[in-house]
Amino acid sequence: MMTDDYQENLEAACGPAARHSDHKPGETISYRVGSETRTGEILYVQAPAQVGSEHMPLTYVVDSGHGFPDMVWQTDVIEQIVKGKQ
């Protein structure tokens, strides 16, 4: 369970949390990074934002065990992995 301090630190680093998303923090997803497929746990869901003249879509911050978390756009998600099911 995330503490308020942890949530505040994520918001400070990543921007506001998304109010609605297909996948939630704590869920495991598979996704594309270039030509590679990775699987990891969602740490945070960043709300869509306007950065200068560029629109940034809803972004999942995912720990795949490759060091720094991956920033995954919703369109790169392949599937949700349900623990205990294959």
Q: Is residue 22 part of a domain?
A: yes
- Tell me how many domains the chain contains: 1
pLDDT in tens, the chain (86 residues): 556 787 788 788 878 889 999 999 999 999 999 999 999 999 999 999 888 899 989 999 999 998 999 999 999 999 877 766 55
Q: Is residue 14 part of a domain?
A: yes
CATH number at residue 64: 2.30.30
> Tell me, what's the pLDDT at 4?
73
Phi then psi for residue 38, to 5 deg, are: -125, 160
> Tell me, what's the pLDDT at 2?
59
Contacts of 15 (CB under 8 A, 6+ apart): 46, 47, 49
> Tell me, what's the pLDDT at 85?
56
Q: Is residue 52 part of a domain?
A: yes
Q: Is residue 86 part of a domain?
A: no
Contacts of 31 (CB under 8 A, 6+ apart): 37, 38, 39, 40, 60, 62, 70, 72, 76, 77, 78
> Tell me, what's the pLDDT at 23?
94
